[in-house]
Structure 1
Amino acid sequence: MATKIPGWNAAKPGISSKGWSMHVPSEVTGEIGKTVTLPCTFTHPHNTFDKTLTAIWRVKEPYNGTVVFQCVAHSSSDLCKATAGTKNRYKLLGNPRQNNLSLQIDSLAWNDSNRYFCRVEFSGDIHDKYESRMGLRLCLIGKGMLKPFFFKFPVAPPRIVNISVQTGQDHAFHARCTAEGEPLPTLTWTGPQSSNLTSVSSAVHQVTRELQHLAHDGKYTCTAVNSLGAAEGAVYFYKFKAGGSSWLLALLFVALGIKLLALVVILGVGACWKGDSFMVSNSLSRQPTRESPYENLSRRINSISQSLQERI
């Protein structure tokens, strides 16, 4: 239920404080990563209203809370155009002209857990504003979370969200493990001669433990435990060793050298074969043309007979 907020013009003719109401559930539960709908409907004392209408959703507190969504419709034929909360995660499902301000939130995250308040504003010839005073509570649960009737708050077994090996500013290798759960789980690292140097940081519903200065190759396991169960995640760490891999590099270079030498030999043989063929063809083309002995003899006889005739 909600009450009229300051700013309503009770003295305006034809306007009455009666007939205003807002209906929202006390609590809505959503799952992390999914979509949730926050229902909100209202009544007003006007038979019709086709002037500018504004729909608003706030968080934390009524009237002065942070606005997460707002849309404006200038006439009854216009859609309510979003002017705030335009991150594509908020969408007005209801039609404000039909007294429905229901809001949809996509891709839920832990920081969406809050108390939400819906509000409607009529402007133009009539200036009326109405907002839910108690609002509704959005409770979030993760995958595998349970919420039996006897729990006041959501509970969840632990779940490993992320596990990785990273290089820090000190150029050393560190293993990081992040887990979530309700109640917040306790994290421990195990591995080959694991170092006792760890650091812990926590956020809402999540905790991170970092295993610092990894020095030994092998499998490192992160275990998350709370009152509802346990979860494990593992990462494998192998440091690159230049001395141990030198023979591999040498073998690689030898193989490449052999291939290069074979290629040179093949190209050389091909070049020689082409050169010999060229020389043979040139020698054959350069051989002098031999005259027939019969042709030479006839030429001599003709020259002798010609000289005898000149003498006679």
Structure 2
Amino acid sequence: LGSFVKTNRDTTGNLLNTEVHSAPSQRWSMHVPAEVSAAAGGAAVLPCTFTHPHGHYAGPLTAIWRTGEPYAGPQVFRCWAARGSELCQTALSLHGRFRLLGNPRRNDLSLRVERLAPGDAGRYFCRVEFAGDVHDRYESRHGVRLHVTAAPRIVNISVLPGPAHAFRAICTAEGEPPPALVWSGPALGNSSAAVPGSAHGHQVTAELPELAHDGRYTCTAANSLGRAEASVYLFRFRGAGWASALALPLGALGLKALLLLGVLAAGVARRRPEHQDIPPQPQAQESNYENLSQMSPQSTPAAVCSPCSP
């Protein structure tokens, strides 16, 4: 920067002449913050400015943002400006959520990311390419880290068959910071067996290896931004010589309706005459119980539906 002096001497060390050279006033550089933090569902701005050694450049240029790693990571945004144009026309915007805020003609590549999700977290790298007579390009090597915060959300809660005709419950939640998971249920108290998820580190899973009692089991996920919970109900129906189980993640009202249908169906069955020429068509609920009653004593099927609020 500035200027420098070059002195020429002969072989004996005598001074021959002195030359003054002007150094370029600018050189290539990229300026980005180390980290930007924003909440899921909102928007974030990734600042990026640059300098270059070509003075006022008016030729064609391309602005690029990529994620993952510099130079080789997948592109999430790209725009192109014609010679002398201040408008950078968008050629690529992943899922339509990336928009250029800065003006590349004024050395500004700042980007806006909308509708943030936890999966958007990571490093982003800005790049500018000059074309025409210059054919020069430059990219940030360290990039800016986008940190996306999110309140907990239950992704899945389910009941699966376990060993020895038992059942086990699994709960998966996501959030940032990663939430802590706690199971509660009949004769259980509080138990936590959270295992970090593999997707960007924002998912966790907690499992109950054995559901020993009938009743409601609740999974609670909590972090510094909030909490969420979902429940699953386990009921074993017992009869002469057979046993089966029904696991339903549904609310108390839906459970009462199900039990009421079972009572009504049993009452209708008791009032049915012993001898009928044409048997009446069974209703869906009665058909389900008849199928269960035909199973062997060793079978313990389970029916699972979507999670519900307690």
TM category (shorter chain) comes to 0.5 to 0.7
Residue in structure 1 matching 2:78, options 48, 70, 73: 70
- Contact 1:198 / 1:212 at 8 angstroms: preserved in 2? no
What's the TM-score, normalizing by structure 2?
A: 0.56
1:180 deviates by: 4.9
Residue in structure 2 matching 1:188, options 165, 182, 188: 182
Match for residue 217 of structure 2?
A: 220
2:154 alignment partner, SS class:
strand
- What one-letter code is carried by the residue in structure 1 that aligns with 2:45? T
- Contact 1:115 / 1:138 at 8 angstroms: preserved in 2? yes
Distance in 1, matches of 2:226 and 2:63, equals 45
1:94 deviates by: 1.7
Distance in 1, matches of 2:193 and 2:34, equals 40
Deviation by residue 1:40-93 (Cα, 9 ceiling, x = unmatched)? 122332324142x11111234333333332222234447433334431121112
- Contact 1:32 / 1:141 at 8 angstroms: preserved in 2? yes
1:118 deviates by: 0.9
- What one-letter code is carried by the residue in structure 2 that aligns with 1:178? T
> Does residue 233 of structure 2 align to residue 237 of structure 1?
yes
Match for residue 93 of structure 1?
A: 101
Q: Which moved more, 1:102-111 or 1:193-202?
A: 193-202
> Does residue 225 of structure 2 align to residue 209 of structure 1?
no
Match for residue 287 of structure 1?
A: none
> Does residue 104 of structure 2 align to residue 107 of structure 1?
no
| Residue pairs, 1:260-279, within 5 angstroms | none
Distance in 2, matches of 1:211 and 1:90, equals 41
Match for residue 271 of structure 1?
A: none
Distance in 2, matches of 1:196 and 1:25, equals 43
> Does residue 27 of structure 2 align to residue 31 of structure 1?
no
Match for residue 264 of structure 2?
A: 248
Match for residue 12 of structure 2?
A: none
Aligned length: 225
2:94 alignment partner, SS class:
coil
Runs of 4+ more than 6 Å apart: 169-173, 195-199, 252-255
Q: Can you give the 5+ residue segments of structure 1 that lack an aligned partner in the other structure?
A: 1-14, 144-158, 256-312
* Cα 1:195–1:241 shift into 2, 3 Å: farther
Q: Which structure would you say has the larger Rg?
A: 1
* Cα 1:118–1:173 shift into 2, 3 Å: same
Q: Can you give the 5+ residue segments of structure 2 that lack an aligned partner in the other structure?
A: 1-22, 240-258, 272-310
* Cα 1:252–1:213 shift into 2, 3 Å: farther
Deviation by residue 1:110-146 (Cα, 9 ceiling, x = unmatched)? 3332222211001122211122233222223334xxx
Match for residue 40 of structure 1?
A: 48
- What one-letter code is carried by the residue in structure 1 that aligns with 2:78? Q
> Does residue 174 of structure 2 align to residue 162 of structure 1?
no
| Residue pairs, 1:108-187, within 5 angstroms | 108-143=116-151, 159=152, 161-162=153-154, 165-166=157-158, 168=160, 175-180=169-174, 184=178, 186-187=180-181
What's the TM-score, normalizing by structure 1?
A: 0.56
- Contact 2:29 / 2:50 at 8 angstroms: preserved in 1? yes
- Contact 1:221 / 1:232 at 8 angstroms: preserved in 2? no
Distance in 1, matches of 2:219 and 2:235, equals 19
1:29 deviates by: 1.4
- Contact 1:54 / 1:72 at 8 angstroms: preserved in 2? yes
Distance in 1, matches of 2:234 and 2:43, equals 41
* Cα 1:79–1:212 shift into 2, 3 Å: farther
Distance in 2, matches of 1:95 and 1:24, equals 15
Match for residue 4 of structure 1?
A: none
Which is richer in strand? 2
Which is richer in helix? 1
Distance in 1, matches of 2:156 and 2:67, equals 35
* Cα 1:33–1:175 shift into 2, 3 Å: farther
